[in-house]
Amino acid sequence: MKVAEHISNNRKPVLSFEFSRPVSPKATANLSKAIIKLQKLNPDYVSVTFGAGGSNHEGSVELLKKLKEDYDFKTVAYIAGVGLGKDKLIEVLDQ
């Protein structure tokens, strides 16, 4: 379901959280702790912001998979296509 459809189909406020890929072991540990706490709030979906120009998209894809598979979140990838060529954008979307 698209986010806009989800929002229009609900009669309650929609709760979501946005994450970005951690860049250090300490940030990874902190993010894992935060995810566990936020999971208890039962968000309607979570999103992951990819780096500018698609940079570091591999780590973002891994985080999306973890959020979906390990925590059963509905996920959204936030990808700004600015600075990406057509082929690179397709590659990122395919992942």
As beta bridge partners, residue 18 has 47
Tokens 């395919």 locate to 94
Residue 23 CA from chain centroid, whole number: 15
| Type of residue found at 86 | K
d(CA 23, CA 35): 16
Active-site residue identified among 18, 58, 62, 91: 18
Tell me if residue 58 is catalytic.
no
Which residues are tagged catalytic?
Answer: 18
